[in-house]
Copies of this chain bind each other. A is one copy, B any other.
Amino acid sequence: MSATSDILTHLIKQLSRLPGIGKKSAARIAYYLLQTDRTYTESLAEDIRNIQHRIRRCSVCGSFTEADPCDLCSDLQRDRSRICVVEQPQDVAVLEATGAFAGLYHVLGGVISPIDGVGPEDLSVAKLIDRATGIGEVIIATNPTVEGDTTALYLAKLLEERAIPVSRLALGLPVGGDLEYADRLTIERSLRGRTRLTTEL
């Protein structure tokens, strides 16, 4: 979709850079911004302008925060005997939203990926080892991808050498899923990782 104004065309092009926003969605958003109330567009512009100034990385766990250390790292109510290792800061928000984990987090900042030239030295690994020493359990929550699995194995080896207990998020069928639509690898992993029903009761 072409626009009849240079300014509009520029805004559409800028919006297309956002993840998940194609040219058509960008045009739709641009026309919405043109016609919505001005208070909203000004406040949105202000938020976008400020976000990088006001949010930094937590010097302890590496997630995004306004105050350093972040609210989670400073919260004395949290279980300090467990650290959950994630790839990206946004994974902390995803896990927190479940309410299923009350320990601390550690953001790696990526995964080991030789193709992309990312090695362990590019990730927050040394700091993790440092933080994890003497801790009760490290739960590795990298994504179930080749890179995520490689990174998990690499970290597990390092941590086990220091006698730190390591676990990994379970792989298996998604809740509400259907065997018929699950891929072969997921079914294999859910078979290998099968749990005794009696222990769960």
Using CB atoms and an 8 Å cutoff, list the residues of chain A in contact with chain B.
1-8, 10-11, 14-15, 17-21, 25, 27-34, 36, 38, 40-52, 54-55, 63-66, 70-72, 88-90, 92-94, 96-97
Contacts and interface: CB of A to CB of B under 8 A. Distances in A.
Contacts of A34: 51-52, 55, 64, 89
A48 B45 contact: yes
Protomer copies: 2
Nearest to A20: B25
A44 B65 contact: no
A52 B38 contact: yes
A6 to B, nearest CB: 7
A89 to B, nearest CB: 7
Contact of A49 (B1, B3, B21, B41): B41
A8 B48 contact: no
